Structure 1
Amino acid sequence: MRLHTVGTLAILILAAFESVSSFQVGVGRTHKSLSVEHSFHVVTPKGPEAIGSTTLAATAAETPAEPWTKPRLHNNPLVRSAVLLAALMLTGISSPFGKLPAAAMASVHVLSFGTWFGTVFYTTFIAGLTMFKALPRQTFGKLQSKLFPKYFALSSLTIVLQLITASRLPGIAAASSRALGVSLVMTLLNQFILEPKSTKVMFDRYEFENSDDPAALETDEYKKLRAGFGKLHGMSSLTNLIAFVGAVVHGVLLSSALVAP
């Protein structure tokens, strides 16, 4: 079996695992019961008269989510990421994609770099700061919790495409691939560890801040959450900045290759 076939199968298997994982999350969500009230009426000489009422109701309470199966190794985000990257590298190196003409490879590389650089620059220095100043703090946090997974996923994908195409393009310095490799590691660290943890701590903080108990903000647990969020957020910002520095380094080296005689 050829390597690109193996890579394709790996991607399909990964997609199947993702589907199973999504299904388990869906069936594990909480449900609220419905309340239905029905009244019986009879007609009398004086007109319709209600003679009874039956209420079919249940308290609209949250039902705790229960996992259907035990956590599996392949449902670990890091394992899924490793499988996906291995599959992409295999398909990129051994499939016809890796044998495209130099002009096509250069186009994929430049478009991937432009998408990645523009996304990181705009998110970090324009969109993020604007939303932080214009939105209430909790609204901003909830919005970022939806945007960041897509942001890091897009960054990871475009970096992988650049690494695959860089190996087929003459004139791109080895230092450029090293810069891309560092950026990829930092992005994956954010995508699968720092961002999910910081988001969880953030929502735990919100529960205390939205509590009706005024003393909730004075508890040791809340103070611990605040300190933990600050630490995770700082690490996430630092790794994102390192990834951006890698993008700048690669951009400079790429520009030098374009004008080289």
Structure 2
Amino acid sequence: MAAEGVPGSLVKVAYLLVLSASWGMQCWVTFVAGFVMIRGVPRHTFGLVQSKLFPFYGHIVMCVSFLNLVVYAAYHPRDLLSTSESVQISLFFISLIVSALNARWFSPATTTAMFKMQDIEREHGLGGEIGMSSNIEGYKRLREKDPKYQALRKSFLRYHGISSLCNLVSLLSNGANLVYTALLLPTI
């Protein structure tokens, strides 16, 4: 509850704006942008757009998580933390760790596997269709026929799943921090 100095109004407003903007961006990227694009552009175009946007997205989330953690920790000394403040600072730390892993490792690994898959798909005339449900049989035949493609797909799905999980954990951590911030508004 007690703080090592009281943050000024500018710090409080900046903290809240950064946290809410980050969470809003995470919600948009996670629940809207990808679903809209996959239904409206060819598969390989979708992959290319994602490969260009995700590095920026991942690093922005990582930097914002770091900034939120630093600002929060600066005004909430460890020996004076209440239980809810301890949970909040832990959530900031979790968000930082998973967003850093995602930005620096899982997302690039996903992109690398995707581009290798797309090279093989192009050789077989695939990738220009719009949506995930188009030409399912063509992709199934390619998986059955090409063990290299099947291995790349398995790698892609593994890294994509871990990357999605990291993104979801970060989104939930930041969402919970917004709830804590709203409930404890006077102690920001």
- TM-score, length basis structure 1: 0.57
Which position in structure 2 is the counterpart of 1:177?
Answer: 89
CA 1:123–1:216: 2 relative to 1, 3 Å: closer
In structure 2, stretches of 5+ residues that fail to align are: 77-81, 127-140
How far, CA to CA, are the matches of 1:164 and 1:193 in structure 2? Answer: 23
Which position in structure 2 is the counterpart of 1:167?
Answer: 73
Deviation sequence 1:73-99 (CA, Å, 0-9, x none): xxxxxxxxxxxxxxxxxxxxxxxxxx8
CA 1:164–1:198: 2 relative to 1, 3 Å: same
Higher helix proportion (structure 1 or 2):
2
1:156 aligns with 2:62: yes
Given that residues 6 and 75 in structure 2 are in contact (C-alpha distance below 8 angstroms), is that contact kept between their aligned partners in structure 1?
no
Deviation sequence 1:159-193 (CA, Å, 0-9, x none): 11111211234687121111011011110111011
Which residue identity does 1:238 align to in structure 2? L
Deviation at 1:216, TM superposition (A): 6.5
CA 1:212–1:239: 2 relative to 1, 3 Å: closer
Deviation at 1:100, TM superposition (A): 8.9
How far, CA to CA, are the matches of 1:249 and 1:213 in structure 2? Answer: 45
How far, CA to CA, are the matches of 2:95 and 2:142 in structure 1? Answer: 40
SS in 2 for 1:210: helix
SS in 1 for 2:31: helix
In the TM superposition, structure 1's runs of 4+ consecutive aligned residues that sit over 3 Å from their partners are 168-172, 212-217
How far, CA to CA, are the matches of 2:14 and 2:6 in structure 1? Answer: 10
Structure scoring higher RCO (CA < 8 A, sep ≥ 6) equals 2
In structure 1, stretches of 5+ residues that fail to align are: 1-98
SS in 1 for 2:57: helix
Deviation at 1:213, TM superposition (A): 8.8
SS in 1 for 2:123: coil
Which position in structure 2 is the counterpart of 1:11?
Answer: none
Q: Report the aligned-residue RMSD.
A: 2.5
How far, CA to CA, are the matches of 2:53 and 2:123 in structure 1? Answer: 26
Percent identity over the alignment is: 27
Deviation sequence 1:188-247 (CA, Å, 0-9, x none): 111011011110000000111111599975221111111111111111111111111101
1:190 aligns with 2:96: no
Query: What is the total number of aligned residue pairs between the two structures?
Result: 163
SS in 2 for 1:199: helix
How far, CA to CA, are the matches of 1:224 and 1:252 in structure 2? Answer: 42
Which residue identity does 1:140 align to in structure 2? F
Note the 1:240-251 alignment, pairs <5 A: 240-251=167-178
Given that residues 152 and 190 in structure 1 are in contact (C-alpha distance below 8 angstroms), is that contact kept between their aligned partners in structure 2?
yes
Higher strand proportion (structure 1 or 2):
1
